Amino acid sequence: MAKVIETLKGFNPYPVPLRTLVETAEKRGLDLDGEATAEVLKGKAYNLARADLFLWLSFAPDISQGGQSFSFTDEQRTRLRNQAKALYAEFEPDGSASQKPIYGYKGSRL
């Protein structure tokens, strides 16, 4: 059976740095060395990690590595962002992944 890290690397051929995968997994409480069971792959932590990686890929630079070029068109970048938004909406409907600051008056003195 495949490990979680292999499944996260496998959904897109772009070479995502290992540090990015580790930070994403730590943020979501995901064990990269664990087995990618059906339960894990349908779980909240795994899918939010995928959403984070989709969003990361949507801003990733075009690169050439080992004689291969990796690049995204504007349409592909938009599609990656939309996939991330869909996963965030499904697994974090309250929007806690993208908390926005709240501005306003508080208290009797400034």
H/E element, 68: strand 68-70
Asked if the structure places residue 103 within a domain, the reply is no
Give the range of the structural domain holding residue 57, as residue numbers without chain letter. Answer: 4-92
The per-residue pLDDT for 84 is 95
**Is 86 a domain residue?**
yes
**Predicted local distance difference test score (pLDDT) of residue 92:** 87
3-class DSSP assignment, residue 12: coil
Residue 63 lies in a domain: yes
Q: What is the pLDDT of residue 47?
A: 96
- Say if 100 falls within a structural domain: no
Instruction: Give CA–CA dist 23/46, Å, rounded.
Output: 13
Coil/strand/helix, residue 51: helix
The verdict on residue 14 lying in a domain is yes
Query: Considering the domain boundaries, does residue 52 fall inside one?
Result: yes
Question: What is the per-residue pLDDT across 31-90, written as a single tens digit (0 to 9) for each?
Answer: 999 999 999 999 999 999 999 999 999 999 999 878 889 999 999 999 999 999 999 999
Q: In which band, very low, low, confident or very high, does the pLDDT at 109 lie, cut at 50, 70 and 90?
A: low
pLDDT attached to residue 74 = 95
Q: Tell me if 102 is assigned to some domain.
A: no
Q: What pLDDT is stored for residue 108 in this prediction?
A: 63
**Is residue 34 assigned to a domain?**
yes
In the chain, the number of structural domains is: 1
